[in-house]
Amino acid sequence: MNQLPIILGALGPIFTLILLGLGLRRFGFPGDGFWPAAERFTYFILFPALLVQRLALARLGDYAVGPVAAVIVMLLLGMTALVYALRPWLKVDGPAFTSVYQGAIRFNTYVGLAVALAVFQTEGGTVAALVMAIMIPLINVLCVLVLTVHAGGSATVAGVARGLLTNPLILGCLTGIGLNLSGIGLPWGSAAVLDILARAALPLGLLAVGAGLRLEGLGRPGLLAAVSTLKLLVLPMLAAALCGLLQPGRLETAVLVTFAALPGAPTAYILARQLNGDTSLIAAIVTVETAAALVTLPAVLVWVA
């Protein structure tokens, strides 16, 4: 328990920025048009710059990439099987089931990288970027498949592939890894430019996370509690069990369990809107998970530590 003050000190600024973003949006400052633009700027420019910077200069050979990838694949497929097994008990229709699934499997990248850097320092940020490079494509494929099957979405193989190949976070990860493996690194003074952009990514991203939370659609407390429990408690326990089995390393285990304990992401709402999912339910799930993570995430981090 002597780790608790350190962890709370690291997480405090992160959740303060999220709450500040929520408050600013509720009071209409600086205007409704600002937040979508800020989120897009962070998603397409600032966050990819941060990922390129982290991965291009990392010593990738120091990390257990193979076991990390194996844990991620088994974790996501295991949670998929569990959510399907629980579907009769949840008593939800097709579109609502897709929101339950997204709420149980997606994670908030902004919060994840901010926590990894705050708690596990520079090396934790590098491992977090590696985890994201593996996890994001697989999660997107799984979520699109579930939405297509259960919500009548019209996704095609070509459309899914195009979405993955144009995802700025995936492109940022691939670019950083490519620059690293090629030995090029960050040439021509790009390191200084990327450093400036990277410093702006997490503060603006966390404010946008808070601004994107919706306080409507919270009328199904039992279902919201069940999904939040799956995401914030069951998934990290499953991640810890798989890490114990596959032994990816201490730091890798800590980051993997932390990512499993993250709240859901606002991008789930966007995908639900595009593919006929239950948008009000996924918005409520992400909001409740983010609020609950104020309690559950410190507890998981103390356990990991």
CB 92 within 8 A of CB 21: no
Q: Long-range contacts for 160-169 (Cβ within 8 Å, ≥24 apart)? A: 164/137, 164/140, 167/136, 167/137, 167/140, 168/43, 168/44, 168/45, 168/47, 168/48, 169/43, 169/47, 169/48, 169/51, 169/109, 169/132, 169/136
- Give pLDDT tens digits along the chain (305 positions): 567 787 888 889 999 999 999 999 989 999 988 998 998 999 999 999 999 998 998 888 888 899 999 999 999 999 999 999 999 998 898 999 999 999 999 999 899 999 999 999 889 999 999 999 999 999 999 998 999 888 876 667 788 888 888 889 899 999 999 999 998 888 888 889 999 999 999 999 999 989 888 776 677 888 999 999 999 999 999 999 999 999 999 999 999 999 999 999 888 888 888 888 898 899 999 999 999 999 999 999 988 86
CB 115 within 8 A of CB 258: yes
pLDDT value for 305: 66
pLDDT value for 217: 66
Virtual torsion, Cα 229, 267, 221, 147, nearest 10 deg: -90
pLDDT value for 2: 66
Measured from the Cβ of residue 199, the count of other Cβ atoms closer than 10 Å reads: 13
Measured from the Cβ of residue 215, the count of other Cβ atoms closer than 10 Å reads: 10
Look up tokens 């996370």; give the residue: 209
| pTM, two decimal places | 0.90
CA separation for the pair 262, 256 (Å, rounded): 10
Phi, psi at residue 64, to the nearest 5°?
-85, 75
pLDDT value for 218: 74
- Which domains occur in the chain, in start order? 4-184+201-213+222-304 (1.20.1530)
Indicate the residue type of 78: G
pLDDT value for 154: 66
In the chain, which ranges are continuous DSSP H helix?
Answer: 4-26, 34-41, 47-56, 65-90, 94-105, 109-150, 157-165, 168-182, 190-212, 221-229, 235-246, 250-260, 267-274, 279-304
Residue 175 tokens read as 């670019």
CA separation for the pair 254, 305 (Å, rounded): 8
Indicate the residue type of 260: A
